[in-house]
Structure 1
Amino acid sequence: MINHIRIENFAIIENTEIDFEEGLNIITGETGSGKSIVIEAISLALGSRADSTFVRHGASKAVVQLAGELDGEDIVITREVSAAGKNLCKRNGQLVTLGELSETCRRLADIHGQYDNQSLLNPDNHIKLVDSFHGDTILPLKESFSAAYTDYQAVKSKLNKLLSMEQDNLKKLDFYRFEQTEIENAHLMPGEDEVLAERVSILQNSEKIFAAIETSYRLLNSGEYSALSSLGTGLHALQDITSYSKDIQALSEEFADIYYRLEDLSSDLRKIREEVTFTPDELDDAISRLSLIDGLKKKYGSTIEEILAYYDKISEELNQIENFDDVKAQLETETAKAYEALSAKAALLSEARKSSARELETAIEQELHDLNFNSAKLSIDFRIPETIGPDGNDTVEILISTNKGEPLKPLVKVASGGEISRMMLAIKNITGTYDRIPTMIFDEIDAGISGITASIVGRKLHQIAKDHQIICITHLPQIAASGDTHYRIFKEETENSTFTTVQRLSEDETVDEIARLLGGENITETTRKSAIELMELTKKKIQ
């Protein structure tokens, strides 16, 4: 439940705090005094979207802090919204995301407003009521159905794609075969183009390469005074005197290392010299091969690897085209099996929904009778759609008759604003029970009702408040008289500012407030007596 809320610089509220109690908390006030602003502040604390327009004019930020209990533990929620639009969420002093906060608060409180009335008129939302009524049973079936639906859609998509390609396949067949043959005949090898490019460069410069290598090799090896011969003579001279000095021995070893490295280099030069040959035919063949590869690159990919990948792709498509009938038959079989499994899951889900709907019909109808719909009849209608959709094989709509002898009709064609408010109260009472939400907040629950019906709604709210904390904004004295704790919102003006304040009312102040609701701003002894009489009569009926 919600124990306390502090609102600072939120809209026209500068700074106010409210201690809520168990039972039915009633909030009243003049039109425009800021009643709905309190609900907006609570909604912000419970995870609704923040807006910089919430920040009071002239303030840097708005702060809403809510303290309560959830699952037996204390919880403190803080929301801050800056004038610059920055948003901060905290749970028990720790920063959390808006999604994490909303997930927590969804279990703490439920807010009902005008939007809920409109959503009830939309048949698309009726299936959600049925599914949530016995959620423990239906949710696993929905998850199982959703998995089957995903599998069916996947294989059906493959089949549809294949069928859509059927006409194009005939056009592609000859073209793909030509491309496949062209790439096959090239006998490409990965990296071949790089090797060929290097070979062409060597062949085109073979005379220059040979001359340079020959010169280097001759300087190292040819003649009595070649580099290697001279170095060998020097090495032998040093080796003869290594025993006389460690330094000379070290130099001799370095000298020997250089000599042997030059010998290896000489051997490598000899091998390259012997391999450097030049024939015009070899050069022409290499250039021709590179030209062929470059031509394939322009058609199928910028590298040989990409060309080969393209070859694999068209080969796979060719295989599919050439074996179209076999692939089609296989996908049709898989689709039929997936649809059969989907239909079975949908049937189980539908059966569970219909069982839930029968109990929900009875529960809502009983609630409506309690809310002065004495002759109301309600039915949850099931229809089979043309195709199984993501919600199953059911189209669900609530039908109602509010008067004897009238046929059942859709809510949107029957219910007035006041009737919709009462229906939503009935549904909230039921859903609040199985959702185990500790706090229920009602804004505009009294829209379109008055008189006896208002008294009945007040008693129903008081009844619900035995199992839930209720916070209710109202302008009707009959509902206010049913409250356990009363608050009045009023607006004060100074020369430069407007302030909204929330005041907890004493018993005498509650009488005055209900008298104001009965007779207007001027409270007389007559209206006070009427207020006392209404409160006493209400207490007798709710005991």
Structure 2
Amino acid sequence: MISHLHVKDFAIINEMDVDFHTGLNIITGETGAGKSIIIEAVSLALGSRADTAFVRSGKDKAVIELIMEDCPSQATDLLVENDIPIDDNQVIIKREISISGKSICRINNQIVSVSFLNMLCKKLADIHGQYDHQSLLDPELHITFVDLYNSSEILPVKALTEKFYLEYRKLSTELNQLTKNAADNQRKHDFMAFELNEINNARLSPGEDTALEEEILSLQNSEKIYGNLSDAYDSVYGNSPSVLQTLAKVQNQLQEISPYSKSVCDLLSDFDDAYYKLEDISREIRNIRDNITFSPEQLDSAISRMDLIDKLKLKYGGSIEEILAYRTQLEEDLSRIENIDEAKSTLSHQLSVCEEQLKLASQRLSALRKASAKELQIKIMEQLFELSFTNSEFQIKISDNPAGFTANGTDTAEFLISTNRGEPLKPLAKIASGGEMSRIMLAFKKIVGDYDDIPTMIFDEIDTGISGIAASVVGRKLKEIAQNHQIICITHLPQITACGSHNYKIVKHSDDTSTYTTLVPLSKEEKIKEVARLLGGLNITESTLKSAEELIEVSSR
């Protein structure tokens, strides 16, 4: 619910702070005092379009801040999903509108888009004006109200229907794609078969190109390699005196004196290791030298093989690994094309089974909706009768959706009403009388409001066009709705004002330079005077005060 409203430099509001409460909050005020400005401020905080005309003259920006307490889970879940911090189910909404046209929205001190703010606030508050009844007048959403009324039975079947529908759409798309591409399959098959055959004939091995590069380099430089290895071997082992012979002499000299010096003994051990290692190296040099051969045919073969691999790299990938991965993809694609008839048959069978499941789920969903619509229809009629629609007729029309299967089943729903005997039923949105529309809306909100989980309802002079007994009935109905919702209602009728559990008055005053509007809470005595003012106008007498007290007492029962 809305617990606090702060407004600064907005229209003719200089600065205003007001606390709201649970139950029925009634706002009154003289004509022209600025009642609509309060609703405009709240609407902006809840995500409506910004207008620089609302910035107070001479100021740089207007600021509206709402504190929402005890937010429903559907709102807090949305905040959590978008990484917006929330503490104790409290949401602080701040909207700034600068004279330059820039608008900034913050939720719990985190900047958000207007679209996100609007999406969130639809879960927190519902604003209704004389001709603005939002979701109740949108035929697209009537089916949602029917589903919510019997949600425990309908929603599980609805979820199952959506699951089957999504699978049905997926299978239909896959089957259509297979059929659509059938004409190109043979051409693709021949081309891919040629590519696969070319790759298979090459018999590539991972790392083969690297080994070939080394082989070619070795063959091209075999003479130089042989000569250098021979000279190196002769220097180490073959010439006289060779490196090893010289080192052997050094080894003997060290051995002779090693018994006399521990340092020499340690040095000899390291020297021996180096000597034997050099012997091993010399033998390896000889082995490599003796195995070097030069074959022009072998070099030509290696170069030819490398040229083939390079050509395949240019066509199918930058490396042998990429070529082999492409071959795997070709094999899979060819398999699909060669087995397309089998795939179509399998998909057709799956689609047929899924369609039957979707049909049965949709039929079950439709049956539950029709039963729910009948119950809801009776409930709404009872409420309309209480609201003095004694000759009215109301119907929830469930029809087949022209689109056929949808994620929402095969139904559409529309609320139809006739408010006078003999008149045909018409869509709810086409009811002309503002007063009738106000009472009809209250009937809906009394029933459907308990299911839409929106904690706060704001009514902007919905009592226009009604008076007398009808006004008393509307006041009583607002009190009933306020038992489960926070209601903030702007009214000009004493019968509705008397029903308020918390009353406020719009006050406008002027000084030498400016006009100011503010909202003040009323005490019990001030509430009596305000009801008396609405009953008797400027001339408040003892009689009107007594009548006001009586009206408040009757309304509290």
| TM-score, with structure 1 as normaliser | 0.85
Secondary structure of 2:450's partner? helix
The reply on whether 1:171 has 2:187 as its aligned counterpart is: yes
Structure 2 equivalent of residue 11 of structure 1: 10
Aligned mate of 1:500, from 517, 521, 524: 517
Structure 2 equivalent of residue 340 of structure 1: 356
Aligned mate of 1:112, from 127, 134, 138: 127
Aligned mate of 2:280, from 236, 256, 264: 264
* Contact preservation (8 Å) 1:425, 1:445: no
Opposite residue 350 of structure 1, the aligned amino acid is: S
Aligned mate of 1:488, from 463, 485, 505: 505
Q: CA deviation at 1:249?
A: 1.6
Aligned mate of 2:327, from 295, 311, 324: 311
Aligned mate of 1:459, from 455, 469, 476: 476
Report how many residues are paired.
533
Cα separation, partners in 2 of 1:280 and 1:27, compared to 1, 3 Å: same
Q: CA deviation at 1:326?
A: 1.0
Q: CA deviation at 1:394?
A: 1.3
Structure 2 equivalent of residue 78 of structure 1: 92
Structure-2 separation of matches of 1:256 and 1:50: 92
Equivalent positions of 1:213-252 (< 5 A) are: 213-252=229-268
Aligned mate of 1:392, from 382, 396, 409: 409
* Contact preservation (8 Å) 2:9, 2:62: no
Structure-1 separation of matches of 2:512 and 2:328: 82
Structure-1 separation of matches of 2:514 and 2:289: 99
Structure-2 separation of matches of 1:10 and 1:257: 93
Structure 2 equivalent of residue 28 of structure 1: 28
Q: Deviations over 1:49-102 (max 9, x none)?
A: 89797987457965444556989x986543445678665544xxx989999999
Cα separation, partners in 2 of 1:328 and 1:246, compared to 1, 3 Å: same
| TM-score, with structure 2 as normaliser | 0.83
Structure-2 separation of matches of 1:541 and 1:89: 38
* Contact preservation (8 Å) 2:161, 2:358: yes
| Root mean square deviation, CA, Å | 3.8
* Contact preservation (8 Å) 1:444, 1:473: yes
* Contact preservation (8 Å) 2:178, 2:344: yes
* Contact preservation (8 Å) 1:24, 1:470: yes
Structure-2 separation of matches of 1:226 and 1:86: 89
* Contact preservation (8 Å) 2:366, 2:411: yes
* Contact preservation (8 Å) 1:159, 1:332: yes
* Contact preservation (8 Å) 1:44, 1:64: no
Structure 1 equivalent of residue 439 of structure 2: 422
Secondary structure of 1:137's partner? helix
Structure 1 equivalent of residue 139 of structure 2: 123
Indicate the percent of aligned positions where both proteins have the same amino acid.
44
Secondary structure of 1:375's partner? coil
Opposite residue 143 of structure 1, the aligned amino acid is: A
Q: CA deviation at 1:317?
A: 1.7
Unaligned ranges ≥5, structure 2? 74-86
Q: CA deviation at 1:447?
A: 5.1
Aligned mate of 1:433, from 418, 426, 450: 450
Unaligned ranges ≥5, structure 1? none
Q: Deviations over 1:414-436 (max 9, x none)?
A: 45444333332222111233456
* Contact preservation (8 Å) 1:228, 1:263: yes
Structure 2 equivalent of residue 411 of structure 1: 428
Equivalent positions of 1:159-198 (< 5 A) are: 159-198=175-214
The reply on whether 1:154 has 2:170 as its aligned counterpart is: yes
Structure 2 equivalent of residue 326 of structure 1: 342
* Contact preservation (8 Å) 2:416, 2:428: yes
Opposite residue 407 of structure 2, the aligned amino acid is: P
Structure-1 separation of matches of 2:9 and 2:502: 24
Opposite residue 353 of structure 2, the aligned amino acid is: K
Structure 1 equivalent of residue 295 of structure 2: 279
Structure-1 separation of matches of 2:95 and 2:276: 80
Opposite residue 18 of structure 1, the aligned amino acid is: V
Secondary structure of 1:241's partner? helix
Structure-1 separation of matches of 2:88 and 2:300: 87
Structure 1 equivalent of residue 78 of structure 2: none
Cα separation, partners in 2 of 1:24 and 1:414, compared to 1, 3 Å: closer
Cα separation, partners in 2 of 1:112 and 1:221, compared to 1, 3 Å: same
Opposite residue 405 of structure 2, the aligned amino acid is: I
Cα separation, partners in 2 of 1:190 and 1:30, compared to 1, 3 Å: farther
The reply on whether 1:479 has 2:478 as its aligned counterpart is: no
